[in-house]
A and B are shown apart, each in its own frame.
Chain A
Amino acid sequence: GESVGLHLPTLSVQEGDNSIINCAYSNSASDYFIWYKQESGKGPQFIIDIRSNMDKRQGQRVTVLLNKTVKHLSLQIAATQPGDSAVYFCAENSGGSNYKLTFGKGTLLTVNP
């Protein structure tokens, strides 16, 4: 039969705008969270990570926010560029190991020039 793909949330922004990608994680025991970017035909690329003893971490043009109360993670991208267009995944170590990650279904970010 025909396979049903995951319905990917999508976010479309204008070049130069800020982007916010959200993720609800599943396991309240998770204590390590990562954001990955995947471009078409490539493997996931590490963007930024955060541990549960923090609620905010900043990188170059990116910020990750963690709200453990509502099990929510967000990725903020400042001054979004066309090269940021990709699928973004959040991941958590819900299996208790940082080497066994559980991934969200991803968000497709499209940046319009």
Chain B
Amino acid sequence: KAGVTQTPRYLIKTRGQQVTLSCSPISGHRSVSWYQQTPGQGLQFLFEYFSETQRNKGNFPGRFSGRQFSNSRSEMNVSTLELGDSALYLCASSLPLTSGSTDTQYFGPGTRLTVL
């Protein structure tokens, strides 16, 4: 079974631009979470989507947004990019807790965003 895939793997943008990152979860997984990883702050939770609805949200400004499609694929968008948004953006998918399932999150390789 294919793992979580994220595109693009690397991205360079300039301040003020916006960016959209994509995540395809493991087949059958319905929950997608996004995390930001930086050397200064470590791994921080952004938001989580399930059945096209945002269920959980972290402490990030409104410039960070996301959505999930009916096939569980998810995108996150960052508007008005700042230098501090340079980070590795990780997507994780999981199967919601139902009978016989597990809520373990499995991560993709991430998208490395550099803001100049």
A residues in contact (CB < 8 Å) with B: 3-6, 32, 34, 36, 41-46, 49, 89, 91, 95, 97-106
Contact = CB atoms under 8 A, between A and B. Distances in A.
B45 A101 contact: yes
Given A42-B109, A43-B107, A43-B109, A100 B42 contact: no
Q: Is the interface of B mostly helix, strand, loop or mixed?
A: strand
Q: Is the interface of A mostly helix, strand, loop or mixed?
A: loop
B66 interface: no
Interface range on chain B: under 10, 10 to 19, 20 to 34, or 35 or more? 20 to 34
Contact of A97 (B35, B42, B48, B104): B48
A89 B37 CA distance: 12
Contact of B39 (A5, A32, A45, A91): A5
Contact of A43 (B31, B39, B56, B90): B90
Contacts of B44: 103
Contacts of B22: none
Nearest to B6: A43
Contacts of A41: 109
Interface in B29-80: 31, 33, 35, 39-45, 48, 50, 55-56, 58
